[in-house]
Amino acid sequence: MALQACYLPSPLLARKEGKVKETAFLGASVFEHHKSGLHVPLLRSKRGVNASVGVVKAQTTAVAAPGLNQASLQGKKVLRKGVVVVTGASSGLGLATAKALAETGKWHVIMACRDFLKAEKAAQSAGMAKESYTVMHLDLASLDSVRQFVHNFRQSERPLDVLVCNAAIYRPTARTPTYTADGYEMSVGVNHLGHFLLANLLLEDLKKSDYPSRRLIILGSITGNTNTLAGNVPPKAGLGDLRGLAGGLNGRNSSAMIDGGDFDGAKAYKDSKICNMLTMQEFHRRFHEETGITFASLYPGCIATTGLFREHIPLFRLLFPPFQRFITKGFVSEEESGKRLAQVVSDPSLVKSGVYWSWNKDSASFENQLSQEASDTAKARKLWEVSEKLVGLA
């Protein structure tokens, strides 16, 4: 039987190993071995925790748990790194966040990306240390791929402490819809439905984590909130009564737009962001009290230089950064936005659940107000129920 050394969840440590004490230090777990010379890591079988540590020790070779370094194995104090999955970490905000977290030395980043090679190269050119990240394949445009990712992640036997649903596509110049492998309009399929399935499946893994603060973060945006100037730039976001989504969002027997209207690529993106913000709040209502998991969304600022605008016309890509930098003053660099999202992942002061975070001009975080539609509880429930059906959870 293949066995791997790993950390037991803290309640198990307390129960099975009277000599081990856990304390929380700077958002990470510190395991202190009280008896000197206790260097042998605890062991767990592939199928679960092995109760008989002594027997197992005699039969197996210990293998360092993923995310553990040699120094921590040899020392008396062992600090477990947090494990965070970041979708779309191959560019822009996701990459900057992965880099910011990796640089702290306290996080192992699972870069969940559709293009393995691009992600690997991005991590290298960002200067991320090899042992600070793992690239795993995830194509949110395929529900099979989402399920496969979850399977592969579980095979890795890493715990899951934080999930960041960051990946997105924006198709402002598309005249006709494109579709995911499952037949859903691409922007909503990738940005909302793929993440909806991923987050629901990985909720089980977050529940099992012994990390002091477990979080599920879903990116929102100002352009999905019609209580802002940016949110009033046409086409405005709006889900209507969800008739297009309920009809299958497939452009054949239903519209490719959530509200049942004519296809508009820019609106589809903004609609998907409303879905992201409603989903976060519905997760909070359904699971926060029971699990203690923090659910959060955010607007990281206008990161006008990222690949999100790759399909926009060249003139837009030229003028958008100076427009945001000098006119609206909403511009934020990729590096700064990465620090903001990294804060939502790990800062002990941002632990409140159900919050949509934003930052002021001095880069101080605050709890922002969502638009009426983006905080509509009845719509959030309906969106959840329809989405469950579309991704095969109900």
The residues that are catalytic are: 269
Residue 62 and residue 5 in contact, taking contact as beta carbons nearer than 8 Å: yes
Q: Choose, by CB under 6 A, the member of 55, 181, 233, 319 that binds ligand PMR.
A: 233
Number of residues that bind ligand PMR (CB under 6 A): 14
Using rule CB under 6 A, residue 230 touches ligand PMR: yes
Strands 82-87, 107-113: pairing kind:
parallel
In this structure, how many other beta carbons lie within 10 angstroms of the beta carbon of residue 36? Answer: 7
Task: Output 124 or 328, the one with its CB closest to ligand PMR.
Answer: 328
Strands 43-45, 77-79: pairing kind:
unpaired
Q: Choose, by CB under 6 A, the member of 107, 133, 170, 356 that binds ligand PMR.
A: 170
3-state secondary structure of 222: helix
Q: Choose, by CB under 6 A, the member of 27, 92, 260, 265 that binds ligand NDP.
A: 92
Q: Provide the minimum distance between the beta carbon of 140 and ligand NDP in the complex, in angstroms, as a whole number.
A: 4
For the four alpha carbons of 89, 93, 98 and 103, in that order, the dihedral sign comes to positive
3-state secondary structure of 217: strand
Site string for ligand NDP, 285-314 (x = CB under 6 A): --------------xx-xxx-xxx------
In angstroms and rounded to an integer, the radius of gyration of the C-alpha atoms of the chain is: 22
User: Which residues does 29 contact at the CB level (< 8 Å), separation at least 6?
Assistant: 7, 10, 22, 23, 79, 80, 210, 211, 212
Residue 214 and residue 287 in contact, taking contact as beta carbons nearer than 8 Å: no
Instruction: Give the CB-nearest residue to ligand NDP.
Output: 92
Q: Could you say which residues in the range 205-234 bind ligand NDP, by CB under 6 A?
A: 219, 221
User: In the beta sheet, which residues pair with residue 5?
Assistant: 43
Site string for ligand PMR, 285-304 (x = CB under 6 A): -----------------x--
Q: Choose, by CB under 6 A, the member of 14, 51, 229, 393 that binds ligand PMR.
A: 229
Angle in degrees, 0-180, between the axes of helices 265-283 and 377-390, rounded to the nearest 10? 100
The single-letter DSSP state of residue 22 is E
Task: Output 13 or 169, the one with its CB closest to ligand NDP.
Answer: 169
For the four alpha carbons of 259, 260, 261 and 264, in that order, the dihedral sign comes to positive
Q: Residue 381: exposed, middle, or buried by beta-carbon count in 10 A (0-12, 13-18, 19+)?
A: middle
Instruction: Give the CB-nearest residue to ligand PMR.
Output: 330
219 binds, among ligand NDP, ligand PMR, none (CB under 5 to 8 A by kind): ligand NDP
Q: Choose, by CB under 6 A, the member of 19, 118, 208, 252 that binds ligand NDP.
A: 118
Q: Choose, by CB under 6 A, the member of 141, 143, 164, 277 that binds ligand NDP.
A: 141
Strands 107-113, 133-137: pairing kind:
parallel
At 185, list the tokens: 């309009």
User: Which residues does 130 contact at the CB level (< 8 Å), separation at least 6?
Assistant: none
Q: Provide the minimum distance between the beta carbon of 198 and ligand PMR in the complex, in angstroms, as a whole number.
A: 20
Task: Output 223 or 226, the one with its CB closest to ligand PMR.
Answer: 223
Q: Choose, by CB under 6 A, the member of 7, 184, 196, 269 that binds ligand PMR.
A: 269
Q: How far is residue 65 CA from its own chain's centroid?
A: 23
Q: Could you say which residues in the range 97-116 bind ligand NDP, by CB under 6 A?
A: 113-115
Q: Choose, by CB under 6 A, the member of 85, 138, 274, 390 that binds ligand NDP.
A: 138
At 19, list the tokens: 């000599």
Stretch in the footprint of ligand PMR (CB under 6 A) among 99-107, 228-236, 358-366, 374-382: 228-236
Site residues, ligand NDP (CB under 6 A)? 87-88, 90-94, 113-115, 118, 138-141, 166-169, 190, 219, 221, 299-300, 302-304, 306-308
Site residues, ligand PMR (CB under 6 A)? 170, 172, 221-223, 229-230, 233, 266, 269-270, 302, 328, 330
